[in-house]
């Protein structure tokens, strides 16, 4: 469904956007891949990474998802939108709440409206484990964003636009990840640990991109897709990156959780296990998913959290993931 299509990636110069672009250009034959972002310097640098002589289908479009008129212009003749733009740094969102709301909530609403008005066929929005039972503003804005995209399927009415969401955990080596931070602190000989009990879901950029592409092919509109991914302990990650460094406990930051959750007990009522992932169905699509032979209801008391996960990464596996990112 990607060959011959026009694809636009919001936040296309970010870690995910660049990996998604690389994968699509290597494995598919799109008509256009449009990088939509607000930083002209990053677009300039990305053009050196993906030379036009080698990638004639690649386009760059300066704009901000807060600007609906610009989105309407950018979405003209676009078939697929991958929404990866977000203000995602937890401390920054805590201290600049209106900025996070403008980007993550108002920006999401703008994308829904622009996609419907321009006749975009498929929209996949990236979410986060922090949107489940949120305790920080970033998670709360992404929860709002998820709700907007799911509701977008009702707004589109008789039009062809379908919206779905993918929700996964921390990405190895992405901008703002703890991996480059620990690598930098390794030089000082001291690694700051927020809490030795802390756990997180863990996924590589390549795995995230593949999951989005698979979800794009599976979506019928209104789903939240959740991959089955391993957990890791923050102390194991510190050992993998800086085994000989001293550790100091600094305490949990404002808005930070001890453990993360990808699927809560309340969401489990409408959730199904479909093999390599879970899907939370929109109320209007429950009967569809119940009719699928591969979809098994997870049960009301089910929860998918980083501290009770069945799959855990060892120090050696973490080292391999970091080295190969």
Residue 201's pLDDT band (cuts 50, 70, 90): very high
**If you average pLDDT over residues 120-136, what whole number do you get?**
96
Residue 19's pLDDT band (cuts 50, 70, 90): very high
**If you average pLDDT over residues 43-70, what whole number do you get?**
96
Res 111: pLDDT: 98
Q: Which percentage of the chain shows pLDDT scores above 90?
A: 83
Query: With 80 as the cut, is the pLDDT of residue 175 above it?
Result: no
Instruction: Decide if 130 is catalytic.
Output: yes
Residue 166's pLDDT band (cuts 50, 70, 90): very high
- Sign, CA dihedral 113-116-119-124, equals positive
Res 181: pLDDT: 86
The structure's pTM equals 0.94
259 sits in the region (left: phi over 0; alpha: psi -120 to 50; else beta) called beta
Q: What is the 3-state secondary structure (H, E, C) of the chain?
A: CCCCCEEEEECCCCHHHHHHHHHHHHHCCCCEEEEEECCHHHHHHHHHHCCCCCCCCEEEEECCCCCHHHHHHHCCCCCEEEECCCCCCHHHHHHCHHHHHHHHHHHHHHHHHHHHHHCCCEEEEEEEHHHCCCCCHHHHHHHHHHHHHHHHHHHCCCCCCEEEEEEECEECCCCCCHHHHHHHHHHHCEEEECCCCCEEEEECHHHHHHHHHHHHHHCCCCCEEEECCCEEEHHHHHHHHCCCCEEEECCCCCCCCCCCEEECCCHHHHEEECCCEEEECCHHHHHHHHCCCCCEECCCCCCEECCCCCCECCHHHHHHHHHHC
**If you average pLDDT over residues 148-170, what whole number do you get?**
93
Contacting residues for 89 by C-beta, under 8 A, at least 6 apart = 138, 176
Query: With 90 as the cut, is the pLDDT of residue 298 above it?
Result: yes
Q: What are the angstrom distances between the C-alpha of 242 and each of 26, 188, 234, 239?
A: 34, 11, 12, 5
User: Which of 88, 130, 233, 257 does the annotation list as catalytic?
Assistant: 130
Q: pLDDT for 301-315, tens place per residue?
A: 899 999 999 999 999
Q: pLDDT for 40-53, tens place per residue?
A: 999 999 999 999 99
- Cα gap 220→108, rounded to integer Å: 19
Query: With 70 as the cut, is the pLDDT of residue 143 above it?
Result: yes
Instruction: Domains for the chain: give ranges and CATH numbers.
Output: 6-169+203-228+261-304 (3.40.50.720)
Q: pLDDT for 234-293, tens place per residue?
A: 999 999 999 889 999 999 887 889 999 999 999 999 999 999 999 999 988 899 999 999
Res 325: pLDDT: 64
On average, the pLDDT of the chain sits at 94
Give the burial class of 148: count Cβ atoms within 10 A of its Cβ; 0-12 exposed, 13-18 middle, 19 or more buried.
buried
- On whether the CB atoms of residues 111 and 81 are closer than 8 A, the answer is yes
**If you average pLDDT over residues 217-232, what whole number do you get?**
96
Res 51: pLDDT: 93
Q: Which of 16, 152, 161, 27 is nearest to 85 (CA)?
A: 16
Query: With 80 as the cut, is the pLDDT of residue 127 above it?
Result: yes
Query: With 80 as the cut, is the pLDDT of residue 176 above it?
Result: no
Query: With 90 as the cut, is the pLDDT of residue 157 above it?
Result: no
């Amino acid at each position: 469904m990607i060959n011959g299509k026009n694809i636009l990636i919001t936040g296309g110069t970010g870690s995910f956007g660049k990996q998604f672009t690389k994968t699509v250009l290597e494995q598919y034959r799109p008509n256009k891949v449009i990088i939509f972002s607000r930083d002209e310097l990053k677009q300039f640098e990305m053009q050196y990474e993906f030379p036009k002589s080698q990638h004639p289908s690649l386009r760059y479009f300066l704009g901000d998802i807060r600007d609906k008129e610009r989105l309407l212009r950018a979405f003209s003749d676009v078939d697929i939108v991958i929404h990866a733009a977000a203000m995602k740094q937890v401390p920054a969102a805590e201290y600049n709440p209106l900025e996070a709301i403008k980007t993550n909530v108002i920006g999401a609403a703008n994308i829904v409206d622009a996609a419907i008005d321009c006749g975009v066929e498929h929209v996949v929005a990236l979410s986060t484990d922090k949107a489940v039972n949120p305790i920080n503003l970033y998670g709360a804005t992404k929860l709002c964003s998820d709700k907007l995209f799911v509701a977008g399927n009702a707004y589109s009415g008789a039009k062809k636009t379908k919206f779905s969401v993918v929700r996964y955990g921390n990405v190895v080596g992405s901008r703002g990840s703890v991996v480059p931070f620990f690598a930098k602190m390794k030089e000082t000989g001291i690694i700051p640990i927020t809490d030795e009990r802390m756990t997180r879901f863990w996924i590589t950029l390549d795995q995230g991109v593949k999951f989005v592409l698979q979800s794009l092919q599976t979506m019928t509109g209104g789903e939240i897709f959740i991959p089955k991914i391993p957990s890791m302990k923050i102390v194991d990650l510190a050992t993998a990156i800086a085994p000989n460094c001293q550790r100091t406990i600094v305490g949990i930051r404002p808005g930070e959780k001890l453990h993360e959750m990808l699927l809560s007990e309340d969401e489990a009522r409408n959730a199904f296990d479909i093999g390599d992932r879970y899907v939370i169905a929109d109320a209007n699509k429950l009967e569809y998913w119940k009719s699928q032979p591969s979809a098994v209801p997870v049960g009301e008391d089910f929860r998918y959290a980083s501290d009770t996960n069945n799959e855990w990464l060892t120090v050696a596996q973490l080292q391999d993931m970091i080295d190969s990112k």
